[in-house]
Structure formats: C-alpha cells, structure tokens
Amino acid sequence: MTLSPDQLKSAAAEKVAGLAKLRRDGGVLRDYRAPRWDEPFIMEQGTPGERGILVPLAEDGVTAEVGAAADYIPEGMARAAAPELPEMAQYQVMRHYLRYAQMTLGMDLGSDISEGTCTMKYSPKMHEELIRGHKAADLHPWQDEDTLQGLLEIVYATGQYLKAISGMDAFTLQPGGGSHAVYTNAAVMRRYFEARGELDQRTEMITTIFSHPCDAATPMVAGFKVITVMPDENGYPDLEAFRAAVSEKTVGCMITNPEDTGIYNPQIDKYVEILHDAGALAFTDQANANGILGYARARDAGFDACHFNLHKTFSSPHGCEGPATGAYMCTEKLAPYLPVPVVTKDGDRYHLDYDRPDSIGRVRGFLGNWMGVIRAYAWIRNLGPEGLKEVAEISVLNNNYLDNLLMAVKGVSRPYAEGHRRLDQVRYSLEQLKEDTGVGTEALRDRMVDFGIQSYWMSHHPWVVPEPFTPEPCETYSKADLDEWAAVIKKCSEEAYTDPQFVLDSPHAQPIDQMRRTEAMEDPDQWAFTWRKYKRRFKDKA
Amino acid sequence: MADTPFVHPYIPNSVPATKQAMLDELGLGSVEEIYAEIPDRLRFKGTLDIPPAILSERTLRKHVQGLLDKNTSSVEFMNFCGAGCWQHYVPAVVDEIINRAEFVSAYCGGDYSDLGKYLTRFEFNSMMGELLDYDAVANPIYDWGDVAGRSFRMARRITGRDKVLVPAHMSPMRLMEARTLCQPESMPTSTKIRFYEWDRETGMADLADLEAKLDDSYAAVYWENPTYLGTIEAESARIVELAHSVGALAIAGVDPITLGVLTPPGTLGADIACGDIQPLGMHMHAGGGCSGFIAFRDDGPVFAQECPLELYTVMETATPGQYAVGEAIAERTSYGSRDQGKDWVGTASGLWTIGAAVYMALMGPQGFKELGETCIARSHYAARRLAELPGVEVRLSPSFFKEFVVDFVGTGKTVAEVNKALLGHQIFGGKDLSAEFPELGQSALYCVTEYSDKDDIDELVSAVKEVTA
C-alpha cells in the first residue's frame, strides 16, 4: 500500500490526536507523579557520633611493633580540624541515596527516546552481572598480564569486531569516553604531522557546526586553530565553504555523518577527497553510529580514522555520564601513533605493547574503562552480523515512524533537506509553537517530564535550528513506546495552544517545583559550588 | 536459517508484523527505501566479519564468563600493588546504590526528571570540599593524570605564563597524560613542563633545587602528596610559599583517602588541587575505577571562570525551602562555547561520583581518621617486617601513608623475578619501578591498605622471604 504525503500526514494527525489523552480516557498518556521525598541534603542530616561503617583497626600485634600512626605524620602535615562530613548510621545513608535514586528517572524507567545524539538503548542486565563479579571488578591494572588474559582477549576481539564495522586497520580502547576518543584523534593527527615535520605548517582543523562540540573543542586543546563550516540551505556542510577552508595549513577534518540533524551527507567522500588532495587527514565522529551499522563504513568513504562510543551504539549504560569507553579506530598509516599500551596477540597469548616509539603517549591512565568493552563484546556477540544490521534497520525505521507522527503535531517543523529521509535521529524545531503561543522548547521540555517521559535533548550550542529538540528512537523502543512519546509531544503542544501559562509554569508533577533565582548560576556573588559556601553565604547570615 | 526472521529481545519492532505495520503507515515497501539516502558507492554490501550470534542469554553468559574466568582477581590473590589504583574496601552500600537502575541508566536528563543525580553530584562536591578544605569542587572527569594536565592548562590561562614546574618523581603515567594535554613545545599555545629534583634519601621535594629553578616565568608549581613513591611531603607548606613568592599558583595532587589524617591542600594554601576519587569506594576495574577531580579556591571569580569542568550551584524553587541544583557558568565549557570554551567536557566517569558521595557519607570524619591510621600502621608494619629480610631494603623516608619502596638489589633478584615467584604464592607484588626509576635499583612500590590485615602481611613477608632466599 502506498499513501500520498498528504494522506500520510492526516492519518498520522488523527492517530496521534487519539493517543494524546490519558489512559483512562482511551489514550496512552500516563497520569504520572514523580516521587517527591522532600529530602534534605545529607550535609544537613545525621547526629554527632553516628557511624555509617566501621573500618578495620590496626591489630595489637601491629601497633605493638610500630606504635601510633600519628608518629609517622610529619609536623604540620597532621590534619588539625576533622572534615565536616555527615555522621550518619548506615540505614539512613542508604535510604537517603535510595530516595535520590527514586528521584532520578534515568533511562530504564523513562522511555528515553528523548535524548537524541545519546543513543539511549537498553543495556542488558546480564552484562551488569558480568562486570560486577570479582573477575572483572577486582582486577589491578598492573597485575601480571598472564593474570589478565581473559580481559585482554575480550579487548582484542572487540577491537577486531570494531575494525570490521568501521573498515579500519587498528584500534585503541584507552579513551575514557567519546569526546576523549575524539581528542585522541586530534593528538594522533598532531603526532602524524609532527613526525613528518609539518606541524609548523599545518595548524588548522576543520569541523562543522552540526558536529559535536568536542569536534571543535578537542583540536583547540591539541593546539590547532579551528575552522567551523556552516550548513548550506539543505543542511549539508557547505561544500564550497569547506573547499575554501582547506589549504596547505589544514591538519584535517573532524566531522560527523549523519550530523545531529540525522541527514546523511551523500557527498561525504568528496569532502574527504578535498582533504586528501591537500595532504590533510579525515576523521569522522561516529558517536551515533546506530543507523549505519553494517550499512556504511567510515573507511569506505575514505576516512583515515573514526571513533565509536561503546556507551551509545554498543549498549554500555550511560551511568550518569560515565564510566564510558571511546573506541578510536584508524588506518595503518596512523596506527604507529596510537596511545600505549596497545593490545596485541601472539598465538594464544595476549600482550600489552608499550614499545611504540612513535606513540602519542597516553590519553588516560592504565588500560581504559574496560567494563564498557566487556559489555560491548557481549552485545556484539549476542547480535552477530545480522543482528547488528537489524539494529540499524529498526533504528532507522523507528525514527521515520516517529517522524511521521511528530510532523503531524501543530507547531513542530523539521528544517532542511525537504524530501530526504533522516537516518537515526531528527533535529526538529518548535519555532512555530513559540511564535504562536510563547511556549518554546525549554518550557516544553520541562512539561513533558510530567508524563513520565525523560526530558528531551534540545541541541548542542549554538542553536542553529531555533527552538530545537532532537529525539532518537533507537531499536530498543517498541511501536507502543513511539506512539506514547509522540502523544506526549502532541499533548504538550495542545496545552501550549490552549493554556500556555500552564506549560510555562512547568513542571507540575516532579520532585521539585520550577527553579527560581536562576541568575545565581551566572553571578559570582550568588553561586555556591559546595554546601559550606552556600551555608556561609546565605544560611549563616539568616 | 536465512528465511527465519531475526527477532531479538532487545529489538521489539523486529517482529515482522510490527515492522510491516510501521512500513505501511509510512507508505514504504521496505527500509531499503530509507537507506537510499546513502549512495550506492558508499554502501557496505558484504557481511560484517563478526562471528555468528550467540543468541541465548544462558549460552552467551557462559561464553563471556568463561573468558573472564581466565583472569585472576585481586580477591583470589592477595594484592600489594597500588601506584595510582588502590585496593581499598568497597562498602556494600556503595555497590547497592551505584547499581541502582536509575543511576546506571541515567544520562543527560533534565533538572527535574533526573533531580536525584544532580543532588548527589552537588553532595559529592560538597563533601569533597570538606575533605579537601575548598569551597569549589568541579564535576570529575577521566582520571588524575588528565586533571593534572588540565590544572596546568588552567594555571596557564589564569597567570598568562606558559611553564609549570613539576617534581621529577611525578607519576610517569600521569606525566604522559599531562604531556599530551600540554602540546608539543614548538606549538605556540603549549604549556611547557619543567622539573625540580627530589631527595633520593627521603623521597621529598628537593627544595633547594625548586627554589633555584623557580622564577616569575612559571604559571604553577605542582607537587604530589603523598608522592608517587609514597612519601608524605613534609614540606608541602613550603612549596606553596615558594610558588606564591613568584606569583605562581600552587597545585597539589592528592589522594583524598589520606585526608582523614593528613592536612588538606586547601589548608596548606594550594590554589588548585587535583587527584583521583577511585580510593573512595570504587572497585579497581583494572584502572577503570579511576576518576579525576579538580578543586580550587573560590575567593574570586577567575578560578571558576577558567575551570574546564562543570560546576554546580544550589538553586531555589518556587517553593520556599526547596532546593534544586543548576549548572553554573555553563557558557565557559565546550558544550557552551565549542572551541572558544575551556578545554572540553564529555561523558567520563559520572557513576563514580555517586559512589564516592555514598562512600564519604558512610565514612564520616571518624571513618576517614581510623582508615588513615590503619593504612599508616599496617603499611609501616609491612615495611618493617620486609626490611628484616636478608638483602631486602626499604628505601626513602620513614613517613608514608600506604605505599613504600622496597629494594631487592641485595637479594640478587630482579623485581620481575620476585613478582613472578610471588604469583606462585598467590600474591601480586609491588609495582616494578626499575624501568621508571633506575636510580632506585631493583625497587618495587608496595601498597598496604586497610584491605590487608596482619595475617595477610605476615603471609606476604614469609612468601617474599622464600622467593628471595
């Protein structure tokens, strides 16, 4: 069956309108109330003398031999005043943080289609059991490599799989996050040109405005001048502007594809070619590779390097922003510059190779965050090559299905590349809604959570798309989840058109009410980064 | 098999009927029509070179656990190695909280929906502030070496000077990370790292050398307390004084678990402190338990404005007496200003911040004090007993917290040989320093925390006696 665009739109509008009612009225919206514990800060709690845990004391045989610990602390180095930490019994501490956990919606509870660019997929619970056991959690990084063979095997194998997925020749899993892997690239490219004696000449890195902020910030940290290319009228990085930016000064590019807009740049290999013609290098930020797994490889578009976030595409949980793992992948040409140690295989044995004279050195201590690697390994093995493609296919299908519903919501638009379908995510605009009602994207974000849905990701800065929001309905979500998410946006839009002040006063069903005195965030005379500062500044005076 | 649709428990819409219904609503024949956005020449048409799926959870678990079982853990063997990642006891309540699904699965959710996450971060910052004696603590990032490098860059921005002085026995691993951040010296925005010497007898800073090298071209003087080699830096206050005498900043690298008994960097007058929170309740995870913090004095806005990491401040709400937490001066970070921001921030080690908050709240002032005393007493006991062995010598100052240098030169054995032989006794020996510090001979850095009791130490001593005999 094939429907015309207009037919599709009216069918979607009808569907989403029906869904955007409370469940008791026949819709899918929840009558949700977030837990509200009215819990004081832990610094305000406890009673002098209470203990949260008892620690081992030195045995008599030890003190008989060495005497008092205090005798070993040099003059002036013994702490005079005890730290003003809570004194609280164990149950009370545990309960306090359990209440904080309840007041955190997270992804597992919150139907996190919301956080586009973050790929909030289900993190299998079995993986958590694997990494919490002592065979993973209680390993010392300097242990003899003979006692880490299982871990090294997992890392090595995961590296091989990521090579297959990217088409690259070499890998490191040392970076402690996606931005860290992107930074690793800036350092590797720097070392490459340093080794060639071209570092004085090559001083400029090119990125695009719809690439992640780290693609601009990390080359700056590496010492390069950053040139940012803006989109053309179709949302693609302006090819002519890109061409004009490339010169004999260019180190390379650090760009995403698809960009945050979800639009796949069909000419991406042309950009790479322009760089290579100028002797420069090309890196692609693949933090969000979900839509292209098994469909497109960075190497095939000519890139010299790319990265993956194991906590996004490869299922490792986000853990309130870490611990995370960045996988940095590159061609043979850049492999000598990878950070040490590199995991190698020799017959059945795995080794940590530190003897790499051209290496950039290190970006992180020890071996990296290999909890994420264990999880990624398990996830890849669980899905196999067909499953990975299915992940991509369903992500893309989910995204287009949700798009169909959202585009039928009043006040929502989708800038750029009309007639082109997005892959894994879409950057929408609520500019129309704001114009019509005064309700912008921030207010809507603070209202949608009242329906038990995680707040959406708007956009990285700057907001090139006005009043943006960016959902990413990856393979984790069911059709019913997508319907519910679209219904929430529809409901919030309806509220904005009928009672905008109600939305502007949001939230209404959260652990706390609307934040006030927000100028404190910018004012040195008002900010308080710790409780002791706040207490001195505001409470002790009162 | 090829005809069997791939339906997976993690992919609900892989059910063929669902997929078809969705395609129908989109007026599409297949997902291929969407992938037409990727031009044919850029399409990967082969099959990924990845082993076939291990589909059942039971089989997969058996397979991966089988690989992990090839490891030998520091629970099975006794571990006496630290050197940047330390085995302290992890209270059960810490694991209980950080394993909560809400925290494990949360990411960048908003101020309201993820309130508990932000409140916990603020409590972490506040309790670290108490331990370190600072009013300002930032949201942690990768690890100690990384925040050392960031602190150097921060000092450069604050002072406008482009050199820092660091001790020559700074942790070599941390130095490597900091060097990567500080750029090759030929680059115009590089931060140059220079070294001051250390006393080979005590392990402390060589103040005469520091004084001789220091002048007003330096942005900062960095020192570590305890030092990488374990010594408590008795001259910390003097280092601060020297730095300040030329208008340089004093940057302390500290292990926060020492601060129940040792003078905190804020009290010593350090302008910035950095270090690792791994000892505060994190399992080692082969180094994955590490997470770096930055704290600083907050008596003027410049430090906060130049801090590269996220800062959180107490906020009020429409209801009097109710608190929220907001991100302060976010414009300064890379999320706010891309390449015009201060370094960069990104997903790093958030869950460990929560673990450390729980840990600090459980320990309280008395817990930190007792734990410090136990580390000092047991490590000195171990050092004494080891030093009694023929040919085994404990080097450097008699004043250390949990780590100390053991020289095996007199035994005629290398550290590598000793450590290999100790594996036969189910013991992980100290970190081999012979390559990093050849001047210390065949030395290893041993670590004894509250995790190991007297019986463990006695067993270590008799094993070392046997393998060095």
All residues of chain A having their beta carbon less than 8 Å from the beta carbon of residue B186 are 199-200
Q: Clarify whether residues B225 and B324 are in a common domain.
A: yes
| Number of domains, chain B | 3
Q: Taking CB atoms and an 8 Å limit, are B262 and A73 in contact across chains? A: yes
SS3 state of residue A282: strand
User: Distance (Å, rounded) from C-alpha A415 to C-alpha B377?
Assistant: 66
Strand partners, B166: B195
**Residues B220, B282: one domain?**
yes
Interchain pair A531, B343: CB under 8 A? no
Contact between A323 and B351 using a beta-carbon 8 Å cutoff: yes
Is the minimum CB–CB distance between B350 and chain A shorter than 8 Å?
yes
Judge whether B454 lies within some domain. Answer: yes
* Chosen domain end from B317, B340, B359: B359
Is the same domain home to B329 and B370?
no
Confidence of residue A1 (pLDDT cuts 50, 70, 90): low
> B327 and B445, same structural domain?
no
Q: How far is A354 from chain B (nearest CA, A)?
A: 12
| Dist. CA B366–CA B373, nearest whole Å | 11
Cα A324 from Cα A179, distance rounded (Å): 10
Cβ contact B274:B292 at 8 Å: yes
In this complex, do A366 and B287 lie within 8 Å of one another by their Cβ atoms?
Answer: yes
> A-B interface: how many C-beta pairs under 8 angstroms?
752
pLDDT at A216 over 80: yes
Q: What's residue A272's pLDDT? A: 98
Residue B205 lies in a domain: yes
Residues of chain B found within 8 Å of residue A502, distances taken between Cβ atoms: none
Q: Which of chain B's residues have a Cβ under 8 Å away from the Cβ of A380?
A: 50
Assign residue B402 the CATH number of its domain. 3.90.1150.10
Query: Considering B296, B324, B359, which residue would you say is the last residue of a domain?
Result: B359
Task: Give the pLDDT score at A3.
Answer: 74
Q: Across the interface, do A324 and B79 touch by the CB < 8 Å criterion?
A: no
* pLDDT band of A539, cuts 50, 70, 90: confident
Confirm whether B29 is domain-assigned: yes
Query: How far is residue A258's CA from residue A268's CA, in Å, rounded to a whole number?
Result: 10
User: Which of the listed residues B320, B341, B359 is the one where a domain comes to its end?
Assistant: B359
With contacts defined as CB-CB under 8 Å, which chain B residues touch A148? 71, 286
> What mean pLDDT is reported for chain A?
96
The CA distance from B261 to A98, in Å, is 30
Q: Is the peptide bond preceding residue A266 cis, with omega within 30 degrees of 0?
A: no
B357, closest residue in chain A (CA to CA): A97
User: What's the CATH code of the domain at B166?
Assistant: 3.40.640.10
Count other Cβ atoms within 10 Å, centred on residue B256.
26
- Spell out a b/e string for B442-460, using b for 16 or more CB atoms within 10 Å of the CB, else e: bbbbbbbbbbbbbebbebb
Cβ contacts (< 8 Å) between A446 and chain B: which residues? 110-112
> Domain for residue B405, yes or no?
yes
User: Do B96 and B33 have their domain in common?
Assistant: no
pLDDT digit string (tens) for A491-518? Answer: 999 999 999 999 999 999 999 999 988 8
Whether residues B406 and B354 fall in one domain: no
- What does the pLDDT average to over A137-142? 98
In this complex, do B122 and A42 lie within 8 Å of one another by their Cβ atoms?
no
Q: Does B232 touch chain A (CB under 8 A)?
A: yes
Residue among A465, A467, A405 at smallest CA distance from A436: A467
Domains along chain A? 131-382 (3.40.640.10)
Residue B319 domain-assigned? yes
Residue B130 placed within a domain: yes
Query: Is residue B344 domain-shared with residue B371, that is, in the same domain?
Result: no
What does the pLDDT look like over A26-58, one tens digit per residue?
A: 999 999 999 999 999 999 999 999 999 999 999
For residue A140, give the DSSP letter: -
- Cβ distance B423 to A147 less than 8 Å, yes or no, reads yes
pLDDT of residue A541: 67
Domain match, B145 and B198 both: yes
Residues B352 and B379 in one domain: no
With an 8 Å Cβ cutoff, are A460 and B335 in contact? yes
Q: Give one DSSP letter per residue of A164-195, joined into a string.
A: HHH--SEEE---SSHHHHHHHHHHHHHHHHHH
Interface contact flag, A72 B180, Cβ < 8 Å: no
Alpha-carbon distance of A35 to B68, in angstroms, equals: 39
The answer to whether residues B272 and B252 touch, using CB atoms and an 8 Å cutoff, is yes
Q: Which residues of B touch A297 (CB under 8 A)?
A: 44
A-chain CB neighbours of B63 within 8 Å are 381
A121 and B10 within 8 Å at the Cβ level: the answer is yes
User: Could you report the average pLDDT of every consecutive run of 10 residues in chain B (469 residues)?
Assistant: 74 97 96 97 96 97 98 98 98 98 96 97 98 98 98 98 98 98 97 97 97 98 98 97 98 98 98 98 98 95 96 94 93 91 94 98 98 98 98 93 98 98 98 97 98 98 97
Tell me whether residue B71 is in a domain. no
Quick one: B349 and B375 in the same domain?
A: no
Got the DSSP string for A430-497?
-HHHHHHHS--HHHHHHHHGGGT-PPPP--SSS-SSSSEE-----TT--HHHHHHHHHHHHHHHHHHH
**Do B303 and B136 form a contact (C-beta atoms < 8 A)?**
yes
Instruction: Report pLDDT for B1.
Output: 43
Whole domain around residue B50: which residue ranges?
12-65
Q: B439 at the A interface (CB within 8 A)?
A: no
Per-residue pLDDT at A199 exceeds 90: yes
Q: Is B2 domain-assigned?
A: no
Same domain, residue pair B152 and B50? no
Contacts of B234 in chain A (CB under 8 A): 74-77
Per-residue pLDDT, averaged over A311-315, amounts to 96
- B171 plus B256 within the same structural domain: yes
> Would you call B214 helix, strand, or coil by DSSP?
coil
* Model confidence at A359: pLDDT above 90: yes
Contact (CB, 8 A) for B116 and B123: no
The pLDDT value recorded for residue A6 is 85
- By C-alpha distance, the chain A residue nearest B69 is A135
ipTM surpasses 0.95:
yes
